Amino acid sequence: MDTSIQPNRGALIPWRPLLLGLGPALLIGGLAVLPTLQLMWFGATATATTGEAVGGFWLGWWQVWADDYLSARITWSLVQASITTGLAAMLGIPVAWVIARWDFVGRGLLLQTLMLPFVVPTLVAAMGVLAWWGPQGLLGQWLAWDATESPWLLIAGNLFFNLCLVIRAGVAGFASQSAAQFDVARTLGATPWRVFWRLELPHAAPAIWGALSLVFLYCLGGFGLALLLGGQQYATAEVVIYTLVAHELELVLASQLALWMLLFTGLVVGLYAWLQMRAATPRTADIRHRKTLTARQWMPVLGVAWVWLVCISIGLAPLAAIFVKAMIASAATWEQVATAETADALFNTLRFSGAALGVAVVLGVCHALVGRRFWWWRVWGLLPLMISPVMIAFGLLLLVPQWLDAWPLLVAAYALLALPLVIQPVAQALDALPNAWADAARSLGATPWRVWWRVTLPLVRPAVRRGAAFALATMLGEFAVTLFLSRPEWTTLTTLIYQHLGRAGRTQLESAWVLSAGLLALTLFLFWLLEEPDRKDTHA
Amino acid sequence: MLELKALTKRHGNALLLDAVSWQWPTVAQSDGVEVVALLGPSGAGKSTLLRIIAGLETATSGEVLWANRSLATVPVERRGFALMFQQFALFPHLNVRDNVAFGLREQGVSKAAARNAADAALVSVGLAGYGARATTALSGGEQQRVALVRALVTQPKLLLLDEPFSALDAALRGQLRAAFLDDIRRAWDGRTESVRRVLLVTHDEAEARQMGHHAWRLEKGALVPLW
* Model pLDDT for residues B156-180, shown as the tens digit of each residue: 888 899 888 876 777 677 777 777 7
> In this structure, are residues B94 and B135 in contact, taking their beta carbons and an 8 Å threshold?
yes
Task: List, as one string, the DSSP characters of A71-111.
Answer: HHHHHHHHHHHHHHHHHHHHHHHHHHHHHHHEE-TTHHHHH
C-alpha separations of B15 from A9, B45, B51 in Å? 21, 9, 16
Helices (H) then strands (E): counts for chain A: 28, 2
Establish if B11 touches chain A: CB-CB under 8 angstroms: yes
pLDDT confidence bin for B208, thresholds 50/70/90: confident
CB contact under 8 A, B82 and A444: yes
Q: Looking at the predicted structure, is the pLDDT value of residue B85 above 90?
A: no
Establish if B92 touches chain A: CB-CB under 8 angstroms: yes
Please give the single-letter amino acid code of residue A75: T
The residues facing B197 across adjacent strands are: B34, B158
The residues facing B35 across adjacent strands are: B198
> In this structure, are residues A29 and A37 in contact, taking their beta carbons and an 8 Å threshold?
no
pLDDT confidence bin for B130, thresholds 50/70/90: very high
Give A 406-435 residues with CB within 8 A of chain B.
434
CB contact under 8 A, B154 and A8: no
Average pLDDT of the residues in B210-224? 86
CB contact under 8 A, B102 and A439: no
Q: How many Å apart are CA B211 and CA B192, to the nearest integer?
A: 22
Q: Looking at the predicted structure, is the pLDDT value of residue B29 above 70?
A: no
B11-22 pLDDT, tens per residue?
A: 888 888 888 898
Establish if B204 touches chain A: CB-CB under 8 angstroms: no
Tell me the count of A-B CB pairs closer than 8 A.
Answer: 86
Q: How many Å apart are CA A385 and CA A421, to the nearest integer?
A: 9
CATH number of the domain located at residue range(s) A69-312 in this protein: 1.10.3720.10
Domain residue extents for chain A: 69-312, 329-540
Domain residue extents for chain B: 2-24+31-225
C-alpha separations of A261 from A112, A221, A246, A388 in Å? 34, 8, 18, 9
C-alpha angle A179-A165-A157 in degrees, rounded to nearest 5: 145
Fold classification of B2-24+31-225 is Rossmann fold (3.40.50)
**B101: closest CA of chain A, how far (Å):** 10
What is the predicted pLDDT for the residue at B193?
A: 47
What is the predicted pLDDT for the residue at B191?
A: 55
A191-247 pLDDT, tens per residue?
A: 778 888 888 888 888 888 888 988 998 899 888 889 888 888 888 988 998 888 888
Please give the single-letter amino acid code of residue B127: L
CA A347 to mean position of chain CA atoms: 24
Establish if A454 touches chain B: CB-CB under 8 angstroms: yes
Establish if A450 touches chain B: CB-CB under 8 angstroms: yes
Neighbours of A540 (CB within 10 A): 6
Give B 48-77 residues with CB within 8 A of chain A.
48, 51, 54-57, 75-77
User: B interface mutation test: which of A6, A442, A443, A450 has the most B CBs within 10 A?
Assistant: A443
Neighbours of A460 (CB within 10 A): 24
**B78: closest CA of chain A, how far (Å):** 6
Nearest one of A162, A163, A186, A171 to A92, comparing CA atoms = A163
Between B67 and A15, where is the model more confident?
B67
Q: Which residues of A touch B87 (CB under 8 A)?
A: 1, 434, 436
C-alpha separations of A331 from A31, A321, A336, A510 in Å? 44, 19, 9, 10
Q: Which residues of B touch A450 (CB under 8 A)?
A: 77, 106
Domain A329-540 sits in which CATH superfamily?
MetI-like (1.10.3720.10)
pLDDT-above-90 percentage for chain B? 19
Q: What is the pTM of this model?
A: 0.78
- What letters, b where the CB count within 10 A reaches 16 and e where it falls short, cover B169-180? eeeebeebbeeb
* Residue spans of chain A under pLDDT 70: 1-15, 17, 46-61, 276-289, 292-296, 533-540
Backbone conformation region of residue B163, classed left if phi is above 0, alpha if psi is from -120 to 50, else beta: left
What is the predicted pLDDT for the residue at A287?
A: 58
Q: How many Å apart are CA A51 and CA A10, to the nearest integer?
A: 50
What is the predicted pLDDT for the residue at A288?
A: 60
CB contact under 8 A, B103 and A444: yes
User: B interface mutation test: which of A12, A444, A449 has the most B CBs within 10 A?
Assistant: A444
Q: Which residues of A touch B86 (CB under 8 A)?
A: 1
Q: How many Å apart are CA B139 and CA B171, to the nearest integer?
A: 14
Sign of CA dihedral A50, A54, A57, A62: negative
Q: Which residue among B42, B47, B77 places its CB closest to the CB of A446?
A: B77
- What letters, b where the CB count within 10 A reaches 16 and e where it falls short, cover A439-458? bbbbbbbbbbebbbebbbee
CB contact under 8 A, A443 and B46: no
The CA dihedral of A80, A81, A82, A83, to the nearest 10 degrees, is 50
Q: How many Å apart are CA B202 and CA B40, to the nearest integer?
A: 7
Q: How many Å apart are CA A318 and CA A328, to the nearest integer?
A: 15
What is the predicted pLDDT for the residue at A77?
A: 93
> In this structure, are residues B51 and B86 in contact, taking their beta carbons and an 8 Å threshold?
no
Q: How many Å apart are CA A32 and CA A38, to the nearest integer?
A: 10
Q: How many Å apart are CA A293 and CA A101, to the nearest integer?
A: 10
Between B92 and A88, where is the model more confident?
A88
The residues facing A293 across adjacent strands are: none
Q: Report phi then psi at B6, rounded to 5.
A: 45, 50
Neighbours of B155 (CB within 10 A): 17
3-class DSSP state for residue B82? strand
Q: Report phi then psi at B145, rounded to 5.
A: -65, -40
Neighbours of A108 (CB within 10 A): 9
3-class DSSP state for residue A41? helix
Q: Which residue among B77, B86, B162 places its CB closest to the CB of A445?
A: B77
